[in-house]
Structure 1
Amino acid sequence: MKTTSSRRSTRRAAFTLLEMLVVLVILGLLVALVAPRVLSNVGTSKVQTTKTQIGLLEGAVNQFRLEVGRPPTADEGLQVLLAKPDGDDGEKWDGPYLERDSIPADGWGNAFEYDPGDRGRFVIRSLGADGRVGGEGEDADLDNRSL
């Protein structure tokens, strides 16, 4: 009997191929169920980040407009929120109007578009995840007039 017990103690414990396949199938099913939920939350957070950045930029443009007496021109763009404009308006400028060294990007890393509009009704726009005009869902354009 000693021989039998010594064989059992030296036997190595290992997983069989079937056990490994079962574990892989279970992991695959878990990933398939959880991944879409996680990825949809990432998209939602990028949209929310973009809306927040638009609100921040809109506030900075409004502050610029109050102090300088006009919104930034198309040539100045949003950069004028960080650097004093040339000419007479530079004397009124009391910026920078953002607490950063650069203009923030939207949630997808793209630059915001700025349009001074007519009668001071400026637009700050993100073209969404696809970076093109139009679209639906995450690809939809976001701007300060539609928020």
Structure 2
Amino acid sequence: MLKVSLRKNKNAGFTMMELLIVIVILGLLASLVAPKFFGQLGKAERGTAVSQMSALETALDTYRLDVGQYPQTLDELRKSSHPRWDGPYLPKDVPLDPWGNQYVYKVPGDNGNPYTLMSYGADGKPGGVENNEDILH
């Protein structure tokens, strides 16, 4: 018959010093990896903004083909009282940019363009650098 011992092994587990060393090593690794990770996160948000703006531009162009002019607001892509309106031109409400701000839409646009569509970036203010830089599409 097999006899099971209920005695505890005094050598089992980690000492406080070993745990502190492991925590310090994990902290050092995190400090090396975190900046690169957050840099990629900013690039992903900018890529999302560009993709959303491309979808909005497609909807704007389709609206113009149907109605004969660009809408005065982005909300007209979802509902309008214009007699030639054949929308909605977006499947859902107009999205916010990845930072939770509304896209900037102006008719007529800057520099002789029919419209201007842009995001002010992470800070939600004109100008800026890196993640705060304006995205004009």
Answer yes or no: same fold by TM over 0.5: yes
Identity of aligned residues (%): 39
Give unpaired runs (5+ residues) of structure 1. Answer: 1-5
2:92 matches 1:93: no
2:17 matches 1:24: no
2:119 matches 1:126: yes
2:101 matches 1:105: no
2:36 matches 1:37: yes
1:25, CA displacement in angstroms? 0.8
Number of residues paired by the alignment? 130
CA-to-aligned-CA distance 1:6-55 (integer Å, 9 cap, x gap) = 9x964252322211111011100111111111111111100000001111
In structure 1, the partner of 2:79 is 83
Q: Distance in 2 between matches of 1:72 and 1:112?
A: 14
1:120, CA displacement in angstroms? 5.9
In structure 2, the partner of 1:67 is 66
- Whose RCO is larger (CA < 8 A, sep 6+)? 1
- When the two chains are superposed, the root-mean-square deviation of aligned CA atoms in Å is 1.8
Amino acid paired to 1:96: P
Q: Which runs of 4+ in 1 moved over 2 A?
A: 8-12
Amino acid paired to 2:101: N
Structure richer in helix, relative to its length: 1
SS of structure 1 residue aligned to 2:18: helix
Q: Distance in 1 between matches of 2:79 and 2:18?
A: 64
Deviates further, 55-64 or 110-119: 110-119
Give the TM-score normalised by the residue count of structure 2: 0.87
Give the TM-score normalised by the residue count of structure 1: 0.81
Deviates further, 32-41 or 124-133: 32-41
